[in-house]
Amino acid sequence: MAHQAPGNDFEALARQYWNQWGEMMRGAATPAAPSMPDWNQAAAWWSQMARGASQAAEAEDAMQRFNTQARGWFGQMQQLAAQFAGRNADAGEIARSWKQMLGGAGGNPFADVFSKMGGPGQHGFDSWQQQARPLLDAIQAPMRQWSQMPAFGFAREHQERWQALAQAQMDAQSATEAYQALLAEAGQDAFERFESKLAERSEPGRQLTSARALFDLWIDAAEEAYAEIALSPRFRETYGRFVNGQMRLRAAVQGEVEHATAQLGMPTRTEIDAAHRKIVQLERELRRLRDRMDDGDGTGGRSEAPRAGRGETVKRAAPKQVATSERASKAAKPALRKAKPAAPAKAKAKPVKRKGKPAKASSPRPAAKRAAVTSSSAPRAPSAPAKRTAVRKQAR
Amino acid sequence: MNGIDLNGPIGFTPDPLAQEAMAMQAKLRAGLETLPRVDDVSYGATEKEEVWRDGKVVLYRFRGDTLPGGRAPTAKVPLLIVYALVNRPYMVDLQSDKSIVRGLLERGEDVYVLDWGYPDRSDRYLELDDYIQRWIGGAVDHLRRTYRMDAVNVLGICQGGAFSLCYSALNPAKVRNLITMVTPVDFHTEDNMLSNWTQGLDVDLFVDTLGNVPADLMNMCYLTLKPWRLFVQKYVGLVDILDDKAALEDFLRMEKWIFDSPDQAGEAFRQFIKQFYQGNGFVKGGIDIGGRPVDLAHVDMPVLNIFAQQDHLVPPSSSQALGGLVGSDDYSELSFRGGHIGIYVSGRAQREVPQAIHDWLAQRAG
């Protein structure tokens, strides 16, 4: 088992790495780009060894995420760093090289990240498509055969259903492509932003001092590019089409599955949902009736007075309520400072802002609150007693 | 730089690059020794007891008296924490040095938390009315009965904050003081990416197809808000702490919380997306909970609104809209320097948030 002597294996790999680095440094003065020790290979190997090393399930998941994403991306960035280490390359040259590493003008780094987000057993958009693929493949032939034909005769309803499924599949495919195109656009924008950020770091004193810093700069560029597109109306529409398209396809596939299972006499999800709906409705109705009986006044369980109510109280001794002067003495040093009325977008300098009068610590109820209860001049709302009366009326 | 004067953005030679690579190798090597020593990560630092239950929903009371130097609460009014449906509420008590709950208990607050549980397929038809009036209402009524008082303090967090606002608007006499934390209010601010994505969503089709919304889909959605940071950069950063058992356990505990997500009850999800994300009901009106309209002008109790300046899930502008909508004359804001997660677990949060809540409540105790 690999875990029996991880240290020895790792030491051997480390020696190999030192040797590679030595080779690389010896070759650094030559015009040819030096070869980079393969971080990817080492990290992959390490991930394998680390798997199962911890009893914590979370550790296993984290290793999986490290392995599927971080390992590859950082490995590539190290390659880029090695390519330009010790060279007077400008921002454009570095950004172009990075872009080439990620597929050039046809690259879609966002799609690459997204496609690896799912894992075994996870419920996601991509994973569902993979799960449903055998079924969709199996019914594609008859769908193609029937998709263009008018529906009539004994199988009319079935044909229409299959035609709808075929259309849903085509729509989902089209929506997915549009979504991927937007992600690709974000990727291309990210390359441009990366170059700009690199240019900003060209000044003496602002230069990048590690592969990690180069990597972080790319992350900043990519997130900025993504945020701009993800907040746009175009993305809103495209994302909506993407999700809705897949939901229509899923619904159609689920309908086919239900159709097939019903023929075998098996209960369907629709039937189970209907039963659940009835149970919830009955439970809700029962609760309302019980509340009315508890209240005895027909308020539907919304009386203001405390009452024996729903739910199950766990029998315990009553909580201790210790009223001491300590609280009042602490309250004598108010942490909240009086502030101007809220100005939503600009509030930052003062940690706490308040509208209305600040309460005195010694007051049993805040002064502003008392004023609100008794005054009819409270802003934007009727006086509190009037409002509560209104609410009670609504409750009835 | 090894005597080489470099121009351009790359300011390193192969030598420091090699050193960097070897340092990472050393971390990986150390990780092989650290990982076997990492136990199953535990979470939920503070002892708590179940005091009320309705179906899968449980109300817990945190036991401040079991803390080192612990004591009974000095606050007269209990504080009910209402968390979001999309993650588990133990984030407020993740570990002993990252626990808003512990900070509140140490200051004498009497803290309760509502645990929504994990909805299954039989819960598909639960509605917002169930979550807000039945369960928040049930927990509040339980506390009112237990403490023999008309109203209790409520701390709503994220989506739980939106639910708490609804509850407070519908039952203002039962909420003495309301604290909202990283709570979305205006769902249509320009910087709200999640909201932008939901606008084109056919949520009827979505829920009719999926039934309950799978947690994996929700997590996927959250990850894709910042895909490079959350799915790539974070795990490169993992290498840095492989030689630190405590830091690694902290990391894994956070991973546990992030991905320990319940499925979302279909009907409640449908209503939440339609009325809040698409309809922006707090601002424009149109929120209907069990046949009763929600108007934030009815929120007339003191309100403390805490938001995070770098929150990518609930932008500050979304939270701050509350100030212009509530009917309360006693409205305060706390602007926290950090993000949506940091507001629970960062060192700054431990220093600032419980103290600010405690002080604010103390000023309104009576």
DSSP code, position A236: H
Picking from B6, B146, B352, the nearest residue to A318 by CB comes out as B146
Work out the minimum CA distance from A255 to partner chain B, whole angstroms.
Answer: 10
* pLDDT at residue B73, as a whole number: 95
What's the rounded Cα separation, in Å, for the pair B184 and B193?
12
CB contacts of B329 in chain A (<8 Å) are 355-357, 368-369, 371-372, 378-379
* pLDDT at residue A250, as a whole number: 94
CB contacts of A393 in chain B (<8 Å) are none
- Mind listing the pLDDT tens digit for each residue in A145-169? 666 677 777 677 777 888 888 889 8
Looking at chain B, the whole-number percentage of residues with pLDDT higher than 90 is 86
Question: Which stretches of B260-340 are DSSP H helices?
Answer: 266-272, 281-284, 316-320
What's the rounded Cα separation, in Å, for the pair B366 and A189?
58
What's the rounded Cα separation, in Å, for the pair B187 and B318?
6
Whether residues B201 and A240 touch (CB distance < 8 A) is answered with yes
Whole-number Cα distances in Å, B98 to A184, B122, B307 = 40, 35, 18
Chain A (361-390) residues lying within 8 Å, Cβ to Cβ, of chain B: 361, 363-366, 368-369, 371-372, 378-382, 384, 387-388, 390
Whether residues B73 and A309 touch (CB distance < 8 A) is answered with no
Residue type, B237: G
What's the rounded Cα separation, in Å, for the pair B94 and A151?
60
Residue type, B351: R
* pLDDT at residue A106, as a whole number: 83
Q: Residue A27: is its pLDDT beyond 60?
A: no
- Mind listing the pLDDT tens digit for each residue in B184-200? 999 999 999 999 999 99
CB contacts of A334 in chain B (<8 Å) are 359, 363
Q: Residue A141: is its pLDDT beyond 80?
A: no
Please give the full DSSP string across B30-89, using - where no structure is assigned.
HHHHHGGG--PPP---S-EEEEEEETTEEEEEE-GGGSTT------SS-EEEE--SSS-G
Whether residues A381 and B78 touch (CB distance < 8 A) is answered with no
What's the rounded Cα separation, in Å, for the pair B133 and B150?
16
CB contacts of A273 in chain B (<8 Å) are 121, 124, 211
Asked if A18 is an interface residue toward chain B (Cβ–Cβ < 8 A), one would say: yes
Whether residues A247 and B209 touch (CB distance < 8 A) is answered with yes
CB contacts of A122 in chain B (<8 Å) are 216
Whether residues B328 and A356 touch (CB distance < 8 A) is answered with yes
What's the rounded Cα separation, in Å, for the pair B307 and B189?
15
Whether residues A348 and B309 touch (CB distance < 8 A) is answered with yes
Tokens describing residue B220: 């996927």
Question: Which entry of B158, B294, B306, B308 is annotated as an active-site residue?
Answer: B158
Picking from B121, B320, B359, the nearest residue to A335 by CB comes out as B359
- Mind listing the pLDDT tens digit for each residue in B332-344? 999 999 999 999 9
Whether residues A354 and B332 touch (CB distance < 8 A) is answered with yes
Picking from B231, B335, B336, the nearest residue to A113 by CB comes out as B231
Most trustworthy range by pLDDT among A163-172, A291-300, B111-120: B111-120
Asked if A178 is an interface residue toward chain B (Cβ–Cβ < 8 A), one would say: no
Work out the minimum CA distance from A149 to partner chain B, whole angstroms.
Answer: 27
Whether residues A269 and B211 touch (CB distance < 8 A) is answered with yes
Q: What is the mean pLDDT of the segment spanning B122-135?
A: 97
Taking one residue from A and the other from B, the number of pairs with CB-CB distance under 8 angstroms is 466
Please give the full DSSP string across B134-165, using - where no structure is assigned.
IIIHHHHHHHHHHHT-S-EEEEEETHHHHHHH
CB contacts of B146 in chain A (<8 Å) are 313, 318-319
Tokens describing residue A364: 């049993």
Please give the full DSSP string across A260-293, using - where no structure is assigned.
HHHHTT---HHHHHHHHHHHHHHHHHHHHHHHHH
Work out the minimum CA distance from B270 to partner chain A, whole angstroms.
Answer: 14
* pLDDT at residue B316, as a whole number: 96
ipTM: 0.91
CB contacts of B134 in chain A (<8 Å) are 287, 310
What's the rounded Cα separation, in Å, for the pair B174 and B78?
12
Work out the minimum CA distance from A394 to partner chain B, whole angstroms.
Answer: 7
* pLDDT at residue B142, as a whole number: 98
Asked if A325 is an interface residue toward chain B (Cβ–Cβ < 8 A), one would say: no
- Mind listing the pLDDT tens digit for each residue in B22-81? 888 888 888 888 988 887 778 888 999 999 999 999 999 999 999 988 788 999 999 999
Whether residues A304 and B4 touch (CB distance < 8 A) is answered with no
B158 catalytic residue (yes or no): yes
Q: Are strands B152-157 and B175-181 parallel, antiparallel or unpaired?
A: parallel
What's the rounded Cα separation, in Å, for the pair B206 and A239?
13
Asked if A234 is an interface residue toward chain B (Cβ–Cβ < 8 A), one would say: no
Whether residues A231 and B190 touch (CB distance < 8 A) is answered with yes
DSSP code, position B176: E
CB contacts of B191 in chain A (<8 Å) are 231
What's the rounded Cα separation, in Å, for the pair B353 and B346?
10
- Mind listing the pLDDT tens digit for each residue in B285-323? 999 999 999 999 999 999 999 999 999 899 999 999 999
- Find tokens 């630190």 and name the residue: B244
Most trustworthy range by pLDDT among A13-27, A380-394, B180-194: B180-194
CB contacts of A186 in chain B (<8 Å) are none
Would you mind telling me the total number of residues written for chain A in this entry?
A: 396
What's the rounded Cα separation, in Å, for the pair A15 and B126?
61
Half-sphere exposure (Cβ direction) of A209: Cα atoms closer than 13 Å: 5
* pLDDT at residue A115, as a whole number: 81
The pLDDT mean for chain B works out to 94
Half-sphere exposure (Cβ direction) of B90: Cα atoms closer than 13 Å: 21
Angle (nearest 5°) at CA B284 between B282 and B287 = 50
Asked if A111 is an interface residue toward chain B (Cβ–Cβ < 8 A), one would say: no
Would you mind telling me the total number of residues written for chain B in this entry?
A: 366
Asked if A329 is an interface residue toward chain B (Cβ–Cβ < 8 A), one would say: no
What's the rounded Cα separation, in Å, for the pair B361 and B64?
18
* pLDDT at residue A314, as a whole number: 74
Top residue of B150, B170, B232 to mutate, by most chain A CBs within 10 Å, is: B232
Most trustworthy range by pLDDT among A127-131, A295-299, A312-316, B68-72: B68-72
Is residue A231 packed enough to be buried (19+ CB in 10 Å), middle (13-18) or exposed (0-12)?
Answer: middle
Whether residues B331 and A355 touch (CB distance < 8 A) is answered with yes
Q: Are strands B175-181 and B93-95 parallel, antiparallel or unpaired?
A: unpaired
Picking from B125, B292, B333, the nearest residue to A277 by CB comes out as B125
Cβ-Cβ contacts under 8 Å for A228 (sequence gap 6 or more):
A186, A189
* pLDDT at residue A46, as a whole number: 73
Asked if A24 is an interface residue toward chain B (Cβ–Cβ < 8 A), one would say: yes
- Using alpha carbons, select from B281, B278, B277, B301 the residue that is nearest to residue B293: B281
Whether residues A365 and B366 touch (CB distance < 8 A) is answered with yes
Cβ-Cβ contacts under 8 Å for A32 (sequence gap 6 or more):
none
Looking at chain A, the whole-number percentage of residues with pLDDT higher than 70 is 57
* pLDDT at residue A114, as a whole number: 83
Phi-psi region at B158: left, alpha or beta (left = phi > 0; alpha = psi -120 to 50): left
What's the rounded Cα separation, in Å, for the pair A75 and A41?
9
- Mind listing the pLDDT tens digit for each residue in A239-257? 999 999 999 999 999 998 8
* pLDDT at residue A143, as a whole number: 66
User: Are B363 and A359 a contacting pair, CB within 8 Å?
Assistant: yes
What's the rounded Cα separation, in Å, for the pair B270 and B281?
14
Whole-number Cα distances in Å, B110 to B11, B223, B260 = 56, 35, 27
Please give the full DSSP string across A292-354, using - where no structure is assigned.
HHHHSSSS-S--SS--S-SSEEPP-PPPP----HHHHHHHTS--PPP-PSP-GGGTTSSSEEE
A371 pLDDT band, cuts 50/70/90, is very low
For residue B127, give the chain A residue with the closest CA.
Answer: A280
* pLDDT at residue A64, as a whole number: 75
CB contacts of B228 in chain A (<8 Å) are 113, 219, 222-223, 226
The pLDDT mean for chain A works out to 71
Work out the minimum CA distance from A272 to partner chain B, whole angstroms.
Answer: 9
* pLDDT at residue B7, as a whole number: 82
* pLDDT at residue A205, as a whole number: 87
Picking from B21, B72, B352, the nearest residue to A322 by CB comes out as B72
Question: Which stretches of A85-206 are DSSP H helices?
Answer: 91-101, 109-115, 125-147, 156-200
Is residue B15 packed enough to be buried (19+ CB in 10 Å), middle (13-18) or exposed (0-12)?
Answer: middle
Q: What is the mean pLDDT of the segment spanning A248-275?
A: 92
Q: What is the mean pLDDT of the segment spanning A60-79?
A: 82
* pLDDT at residue A164, as a whole number: 87
